Amino acid sequence: MSVLDDIISGVRLDLAERAARVPLSDVRRAAADAAPARPVMPAFRSDALSVVAEVKRKSPSKGDLAEIPDPAALAAAYAAGGATAISVLTEERRFRGSLADLDAVRAAVDVPVLRKDFMVDEYQFHEARAHGADLVLLIVAALGDAQLSDFLALTAELGMTALVETHTAEEVDRAVAVGAELIGVNNRNLKTLDVDLATFGGLSERIGPGAVRVAESGIFTAADVATVAAQGADAILVGEALVRHGDPTAAIAGFIAAAERARA
Ligand SMILES: O=C(O)c1ccccc1NCC(=O)[C@H](O)[C@H](O)COP(=O)(O)O
């Protein structure tokens, strides 16, 4: 079983437990009653590099990263540095995230908030919206074609935007074919956890100019940002480097400046 399969097994167990406590009909109602999702794409289509800054306590590849006792304060620091969106890991077993983190972050910032999880069931989309998510993650490797298309449609129906994550040429083609507007290339292979920053560069052109291109994972330095920006990244998604940084506000501002220099 791959790491991704293993994570998804745990996600399904936790989901079954939540669904037994709160039926889908209640979650649907809560989603319908939630404040509308914030617009996402205009900010991502601006000329400057967009930074999606992640609240990440722990990961399967690195173990414990940071305590983050106050995710709202961290998110506010990210927004102050110019983050375009905040990614909140809500998976509990492997990342020590929670829906409570999502609630806290959504209440603390005005920028859009991504529910970063392993979305495999309709329930999670209504749940994401009920907890204020403006974006959700769709991992192409975890979904069949019909699911990918249905979940993209459900995301839009709920007023949210999908970040459609890929790692191979075939997955990029599937993301483009389904009409994804925001396509991520994860430099981390979720089956082996190997990280190779060159993955983005190898797939960027294949995405083409129609979608916003997001370079995800393994980005630590201004030089890393310059590399992916020169390869066509419109946005970066960064977790570990920011949660371990003493001054995440300055780090994000530095990433944006590095991209500007690389493109000049
Ligand atoms: O981070 C992991 O180890 C991981 C393992 C398996 C599935 C997903 C995983 N991470 C989710 C992410 O995509 C990253 O948190 C995100 O791209 C930020 O990565 P990084 O900047 O390298 O922390």
Query: Does the predicted TM-score (pTM) go above 0.90?
Result: yes
How far from chain centre, in Å, is Cα 139?
A: 10
User: Is 238's C-beta closer than 6 angstroms to any atom of ligand 1?
Assistant: yes
* Domain 3-263 of CATH type 3.20.20.70: yes
Mutate to test the pocket of ligand 1, among 188, 224, 245 (most ligand atoms within 8 A of CB): 188
What are the start-end ranges of the H helices in the chain?
3-21, 24-33, 41-44, 71-81, 99-108, 122-130, 145-157, 169-177, 198-207, 222-230, 240-243, 248-263
- Ligand 1: nearest atom to the Cα of 240: 23
User: Is 10's C-beta closer than 6 angstroms to any atom of ligand 1?
Assistant: no
Map out the domains of the chain as residue ranges: 3-263
High-pLDDT (> 70) share of the chain, %: 100
Mutate to test the pocket of ligand 1, among 1, 6, 9, 59 (most ligand atoms within 8 A of CB): 59
Residues of the chain with pLDDT under 50: none
- Ligand 1: nearest atom to the Cα of 187: 17
Using one digit for the tens of pLDDT, what is the confidence trace for 32-83?
Answer: 999 999 999 999 999 999 999 999 999 999 999 999 999 999 999 999 999 9
ipTM, two decimals: 0.98
Using one digit for the tens of pLDDT, what is the confidence trace for 14-23?
Answer: 999 999 999 9
